[in-house]
């Protein structure tokens, strides 16, 4: 049993575990161990690393249950570590890689965000996160791959949990790769759908990531200006959390103004639970503070956003994943 002091020291060393995990992801160690145990010397030769240095990092990760040292300087993959393989559909590998690059450096300036409420990312890199990604296409592609992997279970869960049957036309606002919209349209063949995003997002969706049914339209633009009009359902998945309250309300108001009188605005987000229990979404909320200026919210905070946008929260629908659908109608 660790003493309180030892527990705090271990928490303080958390960044070391994070960076060790990042190195393992970059070197594809999980893929290299997929066929069975191997010596660290073989792994080092394959990856161009110093064997003694790689061993010390592998030992750190073995202590966390990601690898297992089976004999002197030989390692095998654990069930936990297997989730790091690149061929796992929902692997967090790319998310770990991207979080340990620019966001990791921005977190060194966490005190700036705590004192000012502004993203430290902007201070460190000279521009907002999404503007920075637009200037760095390789990093933007890695970000998109990470989001696609993380959305594997969420998209199906949202499409299954919410009844889109009463609607005729749905707009996926900020739909990116379009996998959510394609899941919705495949489950509800009577629907027509519009994927709305910035030009780069629409281009990626057109390239085939979403596998869209024939009755799909594509529209490019900024949801801060307007969204396609005349639909009876507007869904925003993992969009509102990227923005502060003022900008979030602006997006929601544009959806309200565009939809039919009896339409619905659907916000699919992970809701911060009450209480003091550990929750990944609380960590993600800290990341939003530092990196994008966005906010993860409680149910009450989402309800307040809807009210400010001229909407009313009607209900919250749980899914089989850590994401919920918040349904809102016009006031």
Q: Indicate which residues carry an active-site annotation.
A: 241
Non-local CB neighbours of 48 within 8 Å, separated by 6+ positions: none
Pick from 136, 70, 68, 139: nearest CA to 101: 139
Residue 282: how many CA atoms within 13 Å on its side-chain side? 7
264 contacts 327 by C-beta, under 8 angstroms: yes
What is the rounded distance in angstroms from the CA atom of residue 222 to the CA atom of residue 158? 24
Which structure tokens are listed for 140?
Answer: 């933007």
What is the rounded distance in angstroms from the CA atom of residue 283 to the CA atom of residue 287? 6
Phi-psi region of 117 (alpha: psi -120 to 50; beta: other; left: phi over 0): left
What is the rounded distance in angstroms from the CA atom of residue 49 to the CA atom of residue 18? 19
Phi-psi region of 73 (alpha: psi -120 to 50; beta: other; left: phi over 0): left
Bridge-based pairing of strands 169-173 and 233-237 is: parallel
Give Cα separations from 31 to 25, 40, 42, 77 (angstroms): 9, 14, 14, 9
Which structure tokens are listed for 48?
Answer: 């161009």
Which structure tokens are listed for 296?
Answer: 């993860």
Which structure tokens are listed for 302?
Answer: 């989402």
User: Distance between alpha carbon 280 and the CA centroid of its chain, in Å?
Assistant: 12
What is the rounded distance in angstroms from the CA atom of residue 251 to the CA atom of residue 258? 11
- Count of all residues that appear for the chain in the document: 331
């Amino acid at each position: 049993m660790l003493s309180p002091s030892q527990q705090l020291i271990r928490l303080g060393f958390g960044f070391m575990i994070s960076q060790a995990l990042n190195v393992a992801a970059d070197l594809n160690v999980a893929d290299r161990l997929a066929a069975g145990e191997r010596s660290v010397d073989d792994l080092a030769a394959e990856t161009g690393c110093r064997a003694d240095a790689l061993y010390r990092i592998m030992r750190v990760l073995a202590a966390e249950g990601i690898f297992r040292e089976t004999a002197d300087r030989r390692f095998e993959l654990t069930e936990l570590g297997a989730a790091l393989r690149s061929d796992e559909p929902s692997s967090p590998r790319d998310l770990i890689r991207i979080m340990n690059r620019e966001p990791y450096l921005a977190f060194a300036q966490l005190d700036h965000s705590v004192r000012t409420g502004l993203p430290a990312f902007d201070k460190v890199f000279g521009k907002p996160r999404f503007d920075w990604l637009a200037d760095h296409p390789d990093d933007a592609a890695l970000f998109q791959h990470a989001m696609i992997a993380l959305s594997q279970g969420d998209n199906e869960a949202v499409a299954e949990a919410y009844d889109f049957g009463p609607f005729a036309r749905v707009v996926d606002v900020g739909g990116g790769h379009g996998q959510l919209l394609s899941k919705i349209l495949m489950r509800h063949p009577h629907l027509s759908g519009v994927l709305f995003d910035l030009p780069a997002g629409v281009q990626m969706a057109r390239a085939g990531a979403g596998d869209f049914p024939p009755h799909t339209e594509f529209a490019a633009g900024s949801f801060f200006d307007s969204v396609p009009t005349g639909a009876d359902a507007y869904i925003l998945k993992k969009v509102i959390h990227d923005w502060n309250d003022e900008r979030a309300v602006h997006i929601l108001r544009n959806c309200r103004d565009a939809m039919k009188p009896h339409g619905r605005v659907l916000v699919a987000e992970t809701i911060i639970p009450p209480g003091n229990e550990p929750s990944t979404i609380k960590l993600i909320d800290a990341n939003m503070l530092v990196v994008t200026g966005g906010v993860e919210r409680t149910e009450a905070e989402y309800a307040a956003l809807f009210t400010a946008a001229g909407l009313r929260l009607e209900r919250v629908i749980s899914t089989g994943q850590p994401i919920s659908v918040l349904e809102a109608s016009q006031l």
